[in-house]
Amino acid sequence: MSMSLSKGQALLVALGLVMMVSSAGAVNPETSRIDREFQRIGLEYSVPSITASLGEDGVPVRTTADDRTEEWKHKSPTKAFALSFVVPGLGQYYYGSKTKPLLFAGIEITSWVLYANWRSDGNRRTDEFEAFADQHWLETKYVDYLQTVYGISDDEDTVATELSHHLPDTRTQQYYEMIGKYDQFAWGWDDAYMDSAGQRVYEPWVAITHPSLAPQSDRRDLYEKMRYDANSKLRNADKMIMVSLANHLISALEAYFVTKANNRKHSRQQDEFARLKLRAEIRSYSALHDTPYFKVSYKF
């Protein structure tokens, strides 16, 4: 079948074909202008990246880039250790605990308050028993005993087994310990006595027949109780130092291992879904309309 066209009709057909071809490859002026503007400022047609993670109920949830600040951030176990070693509880605060910092800080404060109280009480009681000894233990009575029983005025002048200790020349801590602790110095107390024929004798000559026997003294017994109470307070104060040191170490170790465990736990929770990334974009490639893209990637 043949068809003949006039020159006018042929021209119209040719013009229509040209317009169809031009339309197929034409660039939308508005789209092209927007595309060039975004390219000029370095932006893309895209939406925020979407990252999948686990929710509290174990169901995957999606969070945008703005929500990622709420996710677990890796914490340094070494830093947690150092913080708690310096200030107990500070490492626990660093890794996010709200109750443990109060616990460790409370132990620290309590230990130092008790230390201060017991140290002060112990020092006060020490001053009291030393003043009591200065009043009721007389070195002249002790020398009188040495001269009466041994014929000496210095306990270093004999090797007698009863005199195994030497009284310090100055009133040191050892001085106050020895006059109450050892029987050798018992005759120095101003109320020291021995029974002789049913009578109390306060003179040391009765010790000649039995030099190894110590006289009785109520003030010596009271003095020893006073000294024991003072030393007990001081020992308790020293224990509080040990409690504080232990608190520093335990707090530091706890902060270190819990921080390390938290890093591992959150790493496992995010491990699978952290590898999955979903990205939606809208791109323009010189077309009449923008083309949506949905990109899924999984990192092995």
Burial class (CB in 10 A: 0-12, 13-18, 19+), 29: exposed
Query: How many beta carbons lie within 10 A of that of residue 1, not counting itself?
Result: 2
pLDDT score, position 291: 65
Residue 292 three-state SS: strand
Q: Which position has the higher pLDDT, 36 or 245?
A: 245
Q: Which position has the higher pLDDT, 98 or 271?
A: 98
Tokens of 204: 């040391």
pLDDT score, position 242: 97
Q: Which residues contact 46 (CB under 8 A, 6 or more apart)?
A: 279, 280, 281, 282
Residue 79 three-state SS: helix
Q: How far apart are CA 79 and CA 69, in angstroms?
A: 21
Residue 200 three-state SS: strand
Tokens of 57: 């109920």
Residue 51's identity, in one-letter code, is T
Q: Which residues contact 285 (CB under 8 A, 6 or more apart)?
A: 291
The answer, yes or no, to whether residue 299 has pLDDT greater than 80, is no
Q: Ranked by mean pLDDT, which of 1-5, 263-267, 274-278 comes out on top?
A: 263-267
Element (H, E) at 62: strand 60-64
Question: What average pLDDT does the segment 8-22 reach?
Answer: 51
**pLDDT band at residue 95 under the 50/70/90 scheme:** very high
Element (H, E) at 106: helix 100-136
Q: Strand pairing partners for 60? A: 54
Provide the whole-model pTM.
Answer: 0.61
Q: Which position has the higher pLDDT, 38 or 238?
A: 238
The answer, yes or no, to whether residue 171 has pLDDT greater than 80, is yes
Look-up: residue for tokens 């109920």? 57
Q: Give 286's DSSP letter.
A: S
Q: Please check whether residue 279 is in contact with residue 265, taking contact to mean a CB–CB distance below 8 angstroms.
A: no
* Rg, C-alpha atoms of the chain: 48
The answer, yes or no, to whether residue 8 has pLDDT greater than 50, is yes
pLDDT in tens, 133-150: 999 999 999 999 988 888
pLDDT score, position 296: 61
